[in-house]
């Protein structure tokens, strides 16, 4: 396993004499007097007047259609909590790098210095005309639910809180493939959540979209089971997954479970809890950097399990890098007004399908492997598999077209080829 020291991380961010991880690069020539007159005055007045006449032309004459705002107020940075807007900037720049590297999407990262969700909503709404989409990030729960919902209702571009939906979409793909491998059905499994924050609620919602009955989902948090009538640390999105009418511990709820989904804290789950699960358990423990139970411990305790974490140094990494660049790629390219449930489901199914395809030599080389195929140790594609965009973005675009939120229609086979050419990936 590769070890990264604090000094390694700091040197990476300051090296090269240009601190940070992103920059702005011109996309048009600016070498001659004519170039200057076209790029700025007097030539720039022409697209100004055209866009005033027809706002849709902003997609033709500006970078709007390939530009996403990555926005945070720093109230829930990674697993570090509220560290302030400025401290969130390295993370937001990191998202920008991933958007560009994996899907050729440009990003402005914007850190908003406010703890007031109403002010945050006003700021984002005011700057929205610049962008083709809004990626909200590291905004604390439960405020993040209202911020996303309100903004999406106000704006005609996608608003996507990645801490919720990114993990949820990858989880959906992983569960679909894991269930196939253990020969269990969506409508017969018992799913237990450890963690009921933004990611936990969104993941539970995505499982319902995928086909898990809501009554089969049991959600716990630091106070135990979310049950009907509970008053402590509740909010409506969490209460929607209440089960039963009395308190229970995570250990009690896990008895007879088929699936454990951890989005909480390290080392919360014991071997005895895993032993109480049914045959062929699916154990997705995604707390970072350390999961709810160590991968090796879970695998040794339950050799019949399919185990996944959020880490790149173990098999079956469930990480949102497999989601947001490609979801936005598909959404931007059809000029979608929103990212809806149909598009999220399509993203999950596209990822699940790619994991069943033969793994390319390039992926094996990137991970230092000689062989990898669909099975218990490989249920979602690798993050460095360049084909992910070719499977996920067209699926999202198709769902947007079918569900009525796309403002342009195009041939999906031709679109897939265009993506391959753009990203220099073999179809």
Give me the active site residues, please.
40, 95
Q: Where are the alpha helices (DSSP H) in 211-340?
A: 236-239, 250-253, 271-275, 295-301, 324-333
**How many Å apart are CA 134 and CA 155, to the nearest integer?**
10
- What is the rounded radius of gyration, in angstroms, for the C-alpha atoms of the chain? 22
Half-sphere exposure (Cβ direction) of 414: Cα atoms closer than 13 Å: 4
Residue 86: other Cβ atoms inside 10 A? 10
> What burial class does residue 242 get, using C-beta atoms within 10 Å of its C-beta: 0-12 exposed, 13-18 middle, 19+ buried?
middle
Chain center to CA of 277: 28
Query: Residue 358 has what DSSP assignment?
Result: P
Residue 89: C-alpha distances to residues 4, 23, 109, 110, 200 (Å): 20, 14, 7, 8, 24
- Put residue 296 in one of left, alpha, beta given phi > 0 → left and psi -120 to 50 → alpha: alpha
């Amino acid at each position: 396993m590769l070890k990264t020291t604090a000094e390694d991380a700091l040197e990476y961010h300051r090296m090269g004499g240009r601190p940070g991880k992103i920059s702005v690069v011109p996309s048009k020539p600016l070498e001659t007097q004519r170039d200057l007159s076209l790029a700025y005055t007097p030539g720039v007045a022409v697209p100004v007047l055209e866009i005033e006449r027809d706002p849709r032309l902003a997609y033709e004459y500006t970078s709007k259609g390939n530009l996403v705002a990555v926005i945070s107020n720093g109230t829930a940075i990674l697993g570090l909590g509220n560290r302030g807007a400025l401290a969130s900037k390295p993370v937001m720049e990191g998202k920008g790098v991933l958007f560009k590297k994996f899907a050729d999407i440009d990003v402005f990262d914007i850190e908003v210095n406010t703890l007031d969700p109403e002010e945050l909503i006003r700021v984002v709404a005011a700057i929205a005309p610049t962008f083709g989409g809004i990626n909200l990030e590291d905004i604390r729960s439960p405020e993040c639910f209202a911020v996303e919902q309100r903004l999406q209702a106000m704006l005609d571009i996608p608003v996507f809180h990645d801490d919720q939906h990114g993990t949820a979409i990858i989880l959906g793909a992983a569960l679909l493939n894991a269930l196939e491998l253990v020969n269990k059905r969506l409508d017969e499994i018992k799913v237990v959540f450890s963690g009921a924050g933004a990611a936990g609620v969104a993941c539970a919602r995505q499982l319902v979209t995928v086909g898990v009955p809501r009554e089969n989902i049991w959600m716990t948090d630091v106070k135990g089971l979310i049950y009907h009538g509970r008053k402590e640390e509740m909010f409506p999105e969490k209460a929607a997954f209440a089960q039963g009418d009395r308190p229970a511990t995570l250990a009690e709820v896990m008895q007879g479970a088929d699936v454990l989904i951890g989005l909480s804290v390290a080392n919360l789950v014991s071997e005895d809890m895993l032993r109480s699960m049914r045959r062929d358990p699916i154990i997705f423990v995604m707390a970072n950097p350390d999961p709810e139970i160590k991968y090796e411990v879970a695998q040794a305790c339950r050799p019949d399990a399919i185990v996944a974490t959020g880490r790149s140094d173990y098999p079956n990494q469930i990480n949102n890098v497999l989601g947001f660049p490609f979801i936005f790629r598909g959404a931007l390219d059809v000029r979608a007004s929103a990212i809806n449930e149909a598009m999220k489901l399509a993203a999950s199914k596209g990822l699940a399908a790619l994991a069943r395809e033969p793994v390319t030599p390039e992926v094996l080389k990137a991970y230092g492997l000689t062989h990898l195929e669909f099975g218990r140790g490989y249920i979602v594609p690798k993050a460095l598999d360049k084909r992910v965009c070719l499977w996920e973005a067209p699926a999202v675009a198709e769902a947007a077209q079918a569900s009525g939120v796309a403002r342009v229609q195009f041939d999906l086979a031709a679109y897939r080829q265009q993506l391959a050419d753009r990203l220099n990936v073999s179809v």
